Amino acid sequence: MKKLVFILLTLAAFAGCTSAPSEPAAKADPPQPLTGRSAFQQTFIAAHGWAADVRPYQLQSVAIANANGRDGKAVVWGASFASGALHKSKAYSWSGIDSPDAPSRGVSPGSEDSYVPNNAFDIQFLKVDSDQAFDVAQKHGGEKILQDNPSLAITYLLDWNRGGGNLVWHVIYGTSRSDAKQVIDVDATTGAFLRRENS
C-alpha cells in the first residue's frame, strides 16, 4: 500500500511540473523612429570602422508601416559613404523596427560600390536636423499639401548640392521623388528655405 501511495504522489508531482503554464511570448519592441542626424551618427560610426577616411554623400529615409515621417523622423534610414583611400563607396542602413520589409534593427552594412568622390560632403555642414527641415518645409507649402493629402508619407533626402556649394535636405511629400506631391529644399547648415522643386 505504501508503494502505491508513493507512486501516486510521484506521478502527481510530475504532472504538476509538466502542466505549469508556459511563459507568454515576448512582446516585440515598439518602433523607434529617429531623426536623420541621429541615424546618420550611428551609421557613420560603423562606416568609420570600414575605412578611416570615410566621407558621407547621401542620407535618405524610407517610409514604412505607420511611420509616416510627419515629425521629421523615420524608422529606416540609409546612408552612403565614400573612401578615397579604398576608391570605393559603401552603404549602411539603420533600422528601428521589426518588420519583414525592413532591415534588422540597428546598423547593417551594405555592399561596396564604385567611388563617388564629387558628391561627398564634410559632416560639419550638417547642423540642421530632419525635424527642423520638416518644420521649415511645412511653412513653405507643406502644411497645405498635408491638409489635402492626410495619409501622405513624407521622406527625407540629404545630399550635397555641387552647384550651390551647400548641403540640402529635400523634404519629399511622398515616398519618392517620382511620386512626390512636392519636394521642398532646406539648407542643412542654416535651416533656410531654398526652393520648391518642380514635381
Residue spans per domain, the chain: 34-197
Q: What is the mean pLDDT of the chain?
A: 87
Q: Is the predicted pLDDT of residue 16 greater than 70, yes or no?
A: no
What pLDDT score was predicted for residue 26?
Answer: 61
Q: Is residue 80 packed enough to be buried (19+ CB in 10 Å), middle (13-18) or exposed (0-12)?
A: buried
- Can you give the pTM of this predicted structure? 0.84
Give phi and psi for 56, each to the nearest 5: -75, 155
Q: What is the mean pLDDT of residues 124-150?
A: 96
